[in-house]
Chains A and B, each alone.
Chain A
Amino acid sequence: MVKFYGLLRRHVPKAAVEIAADGLTVLALLRKAEEEAGGAFLDELLDRERGLLTGTIILVNGENIRLGQGLETRVGAGDRVDLFSPAGGG
């Protein structure tokens, strides 16, 4: 399950999509999610070199991928992936 939050929802028609993610990297999953969700949202999360933008939050089962292998983090079957574009508040 991939869930979209924040500004990403302006690019996709649904707030979540189911993707067979078994063994994919997060980067591959994001590309697949763009296709399946029917909207281009990657520019809200990644920079031109396709690295994470400062402030992008991607959680796999609640764990920030920056503490794992970043965009190379592997996603397993049944994992939940939460995608947040850079945000702030107080």
Chain B
Amino acid sequence: MNGWMGKIVKLDLGTGVQEIVEVGDETRRRYIGGRGLGVKLYADLCSAATDPFADGNALIFMTGPLTGTLMTSGRYQVVSRSPLTGTICDSSSGGTFGAVLKAAGLDGLIVTGRAPTPVYLSVHDGEVDVRDASALWGLDTQQTQKAVQAELSAKASVACIGPAGENRILFAAIMNDKDRAAGRGGMGAIMGAKNLKAIAASGGASVAIADPAGYKDVASRLDRMVDKNPVTGKSLQVLGTSVLVNIINAHGMFPTENFRRGVFNDAEGTSGEKIAESLLQRQSACYKCPIGCGRTTRTKDMSGEGPEYETVWAFGAHLGISDLTAITEANYACNELGLDTITMGSTIGCAMELCETGAWTAGLRWGEAGKLREWVTDTAYRRGIGADLALGSKRLAARCGRPDLAMQVKGMELPAYDPRGAQGMALSYATSNRGGCHMRAYMIAPEILGHPVFLDRFSTAGKAELVALFQDVSAVVDSAVLCRFLQFAVGISSFAEMLRTVIGLDFSDEELMTTGRRIYTLERLFNNRAGFGRGDDTLPPRFFNEEFQTGSSRHRRVRLDEMLDDYYAVRGWDKSGAPLPRTLAELGL
């Protein structure tokens, strides 16, 4: 089968029973793979009543038809219901694991049940072997990967959890290929609940290509476009994602001290430019990626990967911290323990404001860099105040009687763009299917960076249509599965061409956009059934009620009410945010 290995295995860790899940051609066409197919399989297997930590919950590792083929195709998607948010969730990670899973003979792996004792899975030649992981339990993510490779093969690609996942921290990550993370939404905690420490893949199978000559042509054109584009061909390579620090700060929307200000006076000292001249050892790149936005870094005492933009912010400006070494070493700790850096940092910032207002008495103070690693570590082990930080910001702030101080949407902490500085991004946050995330519709591209066109960031006009469009395109790319950074260089037609040459099916641009819409709507249906609705498509009150007094986003508030009804109308949803019957019929849902 072109583009696919032809095998998805479902494994019940409780009984050890394995079965092959058949997916028809029509379903593959309608959901592509990766995120889309993962969500479809999840919705068929589980319901909105499924507790994320229940034995009956499914954790789905999915590749796409492009995985293991063109540039940036080493990625994989993890789909389940998030323990942090209760929404449907997919979390994406780079590295090589996705490509190697296919080389090991599988398109996807669905894990249900709970192993009686810790196990890990070895995938090779299309077979899944359940192995004892008692000796691995308690190891950090770096130790785990090395131990599994020592047992199996140095060439094995390993996705695993650290202590945070074992302890079911609601924002535990799955780490693979050293420091790549399926970070958001707590997918690592679900592995922990299943007593599943790691999945290792190895093998040499290759992906069959439908049109080898066309594929070669597409690959070389993609090479040229990515190389020629100043973002993918230059900026991301030299300065990494943290090049955004100075840009977002100059726009007065770099969230500072829990989103109370939009300008961080010490931004320059934590910028991508600064990292390049201080900590950077070399670039690092995922599978077949010519961009190499990753940063291999070294402090005086430690070395590792990162920090990237979101992490620089979460442990930096968000906490009033400008000590780049402390930020970087907190990042290393998250990687080792297996924690999402955004939620971790954001929760500490929330805790600092709770303490400042007197709502909590734990004594955390703005700018306190010396204790960052200790707080992160204590969170992974639920020790001391770490047991409180492990709640995430929404639960912690609610417990302290100040739910308004948690900077989250649907329970997921917001990333490093203040929505008062970009109205489209505000709508994107509010309507994201997995909560406060920037990856469903990255409106920063048009509203700040001018890609593919420049839009007035303070205008609400036309933003509803664009957010829906960006959400749909993103769902397609996440389902193909390729790196979203390619979108800086190529558009939807290029993705259609890639799919055509690999799978052998013609997708028009319109069909792909409908597919993205189908995936987004299916996710929305799941969330609606789980009790989410219009009232959850909102932002913390700070963004509607408080204005910055300085910076170029001063005197601005989010005007969600000017966009939300339009967004629902564009989507074909009713005023409560539920898809209309005709919309479901159009999409075949």
Contact of B250 among A44, A55, A56, A59 (CB under 8 A): A59
Interface members, chain B 466-516 (any A CB < 8 Å)? 484-485, 488
Q: Contact: B552 with A90, CB < 8 Å?
A: no
Contact of B273 among A5, A86, A88 (CB under 8 A): A5
Interface members, chain A 1-18 (any B CB < 8 Å)? 5-7, 9-10
- Which of the segments B234-242, B393-401, B557-565 contacts the partner chain? B234-242
| Chain B interface mostly | helix
Q: Contact: B243 with A90, CB < 8 Å?
A: no
B276 → A minimal CB distance (Å): 9
How distant is the Cα of A6 from the Cα of B566 in the complex, in angstroms? Answer: 37
Q: Which residue, B242, B251, B438, B450, has most C-beta atoms of chain A within 10 A?
A: B450
Q: Contact: A55 with B243, CB < 8 Å?
A: no
Q: Contact: B551 with A6, CB < 8 Å?
A: no
B230 within 8 A of A: yes
Q: Contact: B231 with A88, CB < 8 Å?
A: yes
Interface members, chain A 43-74 (any B CB < 8 Å)? 44, 53-57, 59, 61-64, 66-67
A82 within 8 A of B: yes
Contacts of A86 in B (CB 8 A): 230-231, 235, 449-450
Q: How many B residues touch the partner, as a band?
A: 35 or more
Contacts of B244 in A (CB 8 A): 87-89
Residue of B nearest to A8 (CB): B273
Contacts known (A89-B240, A90-B309, A90-B484); A64 close to B235, Cβ less than 8 A: no
B306 → A minimal CB distance (Å): 13
B246 within 8 A of A: yes
Contacts of A64 in B (CB 8 A): 454
Contact of B450 among A6, A57, A61 (CB under 8 A): A57
Q: How many residues of A contact B (CB 8 A)?
A: 26
Contacts of A89 in B (CB 8 A): 236, 240-244, 293, 308-309
Contacts known (A7-B238, A87-B239, A90-B485); A57 close to B247, Cβ less than 8 A: yes
Contact of A7 among B235, B240, B251, B442 (CB under 8 A): B235
Q: Contact: A90 with B449, CB < 8 Å?
A: no
Q: Mark B435-462, 1 if CB is under 8 A from A, else 0.
A: 0001100100100111110101000000
Contacts known (A89-B242, A90-B309); A84 close to B552, Cβ less than 8 A: no
How distant is the Cα of A64 from the Cα of B459 in the complex, in angstroms? Answer: 14
Contacts known (A5-B246, A87-B244, A88-B449); A62 close to B252, Cβ less than 8 A: yes
A48 → B minimal CB distance (Å): 13
Contacts of B238 in A (CB 8 A): 7, 10
Show 21 residue pairs from A and B whose CB-CB distance is below 8 angstroms, ordered by the A residue: A5-B243, A5-B247, A5-B273, A7-B238, A7-B239, A54-B452, A55-B449, A55-B451, A61-B552, A62-B551, A66-B450, A67-B456, A86-B231, A87-B235, A88-B243, A88-B449, A88-B485, A88-B488, A89-B242, A90-B309, A90-B439
Other A-B pairs, 8, CB within 8 Å; known A54-B452, A63-B552: A55-B450, A59-B250, A84-B246, A87-B236, A87-B243, A87-B449, A88-B445, A88-B485
* Interface residues in chain A, defined as those with a beta carbon under 8 Å from any beta carbon in chain B: 5-7, 9-10, 44, 53-57, 59, 61-64, 66-67, 82, 84-90
